[in-house]
Every structure is written in C-alpha cells, then in structure tokens.
Amino acid sequence: MAAAELPGGGTTPSSPVEVDPSDDTAPATPDESAVSLPVDDPAAPSIEALNFTSELGGVLTGFQSRRWKDESYSQVLFTDCWAGTGSPGGRKYSTLVDLRHDRSMQPDRSWGAKKFTNCFKGDHKTSNGQWHNLSNGKHFFQIKEIGGIGDSLQIKLGVRKVYVDTSKAD
C-alpha cells in the first residue's frame, strides 16, 4: 500500500461484528526485538514468528492483514494512529479491528471486533486488542470501520506501528 501522511477479554466467535467497549489502552510494551514483517499482503505465506511488527499506510475499510499461524491467543496493538480524508474537518478518531480465522473452503470466522481509540490521542499512544480461546490455524485482522464509517473510499487509516503477539506468555 502507498504511504499515507502520518502525524509527527476475549470474545466468542460470531457472524456479526461485535464491538468490545472496554478500554483499549495498552499496558504492555511490545518487544522491540520482534521480527518486522509486512502486514499488507494476505496472499503471502503465513508468518511463523510468535511476534512481529509492521505499519499501515493509507488503508481503507475492508483492509485485511497478512495471515499468521496462531492458536489460543492473539494480541494486536496499534501505536500512533491517523485517519481521515485529507480535507479540513475530515479527521477521524477511531477504527474497528476485527480478528478473523481464515478457514479454507469456508467463510472466515470473526472472533469479534475491538474499537481502537487510544492510539489516536497523541504521540506514542497505543490501542490494545486481545482475543482468547481461538482455534488453531491462520488468523488475520480486518479493518471494519474508520471513524464509525464502514464503507468509505475516501477515509484512510495510517498506523505508525502495528504489533501482533501470538504468545500470551510474554
């Protein structure tokens, strides 16, 4: 994806998107030694690393991350988020992140969505989504809404740091 301008509890499986209204602040500090891999190629092979970092630049609703192998637990953290249309008054302050189970020859399963707001509140602010009791297999996250809007071709999301952790032990 093209670079965009960036400023200087588990849920149960379900078909409809469920928003977890809990606080999305992230007390955990992502491991700086995590592998840095692109997050924007769903066709790429699954990531084998337990933890990895990446970024998002100018993605739209419907964006799907690269797949990773997982079982039981996933955590997705966004640090330093920006979203908007680029026009005055077009700035948005939330995004809805849906963790999904990629199932071959079947519809993907949603593990529920988390509304990320904290990462929009200033430099180095992080939003944290955690999902528990997952099935073994390939997982990915999908951007379901940006600024409460689920189908805009004008609103884009940028995230300076995306961190995915599949190991609850750390």
- Could you tell me the mean pLDDT of each successive run of 10 residues in the chain, 170 residues long? 38 44 56 53 58 89 91 92 82 94 93 96 93 92 94 92 79
**Domains of the chain, each with CATH number or no CATH:** 19-26+57-165 (2.60.120)
Sign (positive or negative) of CA dihedral 140, 155, 120, 25: negative
pLDDT score, position 86: 77
DSSP secondary structure of 37-52: --S--TTSPPB--SEE
pLDDT score, position 4: 40
DSSP secondary structure of 78-137: EEEEEEE-SSTT-EE--EEEEEEEE-TTSPPEEEEEEEE-GGGSSTT-EEEEEEEEEEEE
pTM score of the predicted model: 0.74
| 13, 139 Cβ separation under 8 angstroms | no
pLDDT score, position 42: 60
